[in-house]
Amino acid sequence: MATWSAPGKVFLFGEHAVVYGKPGVAMAIKPRVFVTVRKSRNPTRPRSPYINECFRRMGVRGSVYVHSQLQSSSGLGSSAAVTVATLCAINDEFGLGRTREDIADMAFAIEKKVQKGRASPTDTYVSTSGGIVLITGNSKRRLPPQGLQIVVGNTMVPHSTAKMVELVGNLQKKHPEIANPILDAIGAVTLAALHNINHPRELGRCMDMNNALLEALGVGHPASSKLVLAARASGAYGAKITGAGGGGSIIALCPRRAKSRVAGAIEACEGKAIITTIDTDGARKEKHD
């Protein structure tokens, strides 16, 4: 029996634009998904299409148990974390000898297939490696870790990443003259943010600009706007949608002393707050009996 876990993630900057080859920055966060895999003669078919695809690609059969600290469809990369942790646990339990890089690539191929759409390798790569990662097209670079103080606000409005990616795709096809400059501007904000990674006030301002551009792309939602405004009003340096939008979650960059106030303001607006920071472990082995 092998148990592995993998973390969720937040997009700090550049979601959606990253699907069009612009730079994006994502960070692994503390909440994780735990997956136990056991060799078994009579495995039951798992209900998750991600887990099914993991077993199919690894060419083995076994039983699986999942325990998640991440809500699904919340924009925090839970499907990527499940996929990465399952692949690692299968690899370990069956002694298949796959590297971390193989796992990240395979997890990305699985996400793409199950989500039937355009996707970037961000979620699966960040969940495998941990830390802060800069993604541009197919290139992925781990950036030096930063102690960013983040409050996540889950709107509790479930969303479909595939649908939101399609919505932006439709806008880009119908009105490239509008969508392309917005996507370029998101890329420019991401680069400005990288220059200001040690300056929380400027970083917060970049988050606010990124949020306005995501709203312009049409991936906003009244519930996320409410949480973003509440976070800013209660002392965050800046706040934005994180992930695909259309509900899902927001993040607020906070001074250390304001974290609980910001979390309280989010909860007062019917959001679910998580006070968190960077995870630098990525996928990790929990136990092997």
Give, as ranges, the residues between 241 and 260 that touch ligand MEV (CB under 6 A): 243-244
Among 2, 6, 19, 81, binds ligand MEV (CB under 6 A): 19
According to DSSP, the β-strands at 238-242 and 132-136 are: unpaired
**Minimum gap (Å) between residue 124 Cβ and ligand MEV:** 9
Residue numbers annotated as active site: 123
The residues, any chain, with a CB within 8 Å of residue 137's CB and separated by 6 or more, are 21
> 36 phi and psi, to 5 degrees?
-110, 130
State the binding string over 156-185 for ligand MEV (x if CB under 6 A, else -).
-----x---x--------------------
Binding of residue 74 to ligand MEV (CB under 6 A): no
**Minimum gap (Å) between residue 243 Cβ and ligand MEV:** 4
**Minimum gap (Å) between residue 185 Cβ and ligand MEV:** 15
Contact of 267 with 252, CB cutoff 8 Å = no
Binding of residue 123 to ligand MEV (CB under 6 A): yes
Binding of residue 46 to ligand MEV (CB under 6 A): no
The two tokens of residue 209 are 């600009």
Among 2, 6, 18, 35, binds ligand MEV (CB under 6 A): 18
Among 4, 16, 107, 149, binds ligand MEV (CB under 6 A): 16
* Residue 184 burial class via C-beta count within 10 angstroms: exposed 0-12, middle 13-18, buried 19 and up: middle
Residue 118: what residue type? R
**Minimum gap (Å) between residue 39 Cβ and ligand MEV:** 33
> 17 phi and psi, to 5 degrees?
-60, -30
Cα–Cα distances (Å) from 31 to 78, 86, 154, 166, in that order, read 10, 16, 13, 28
Q: What gap in Å lies between CA 222 and CA 162, rounded to an integer?
A: 20
Q: Rule CB under 6 A: which residues touch ligand MEV? A: 11, 15-16, 18-19, 75, 119-120, 122-123, 161, 165, 243-244
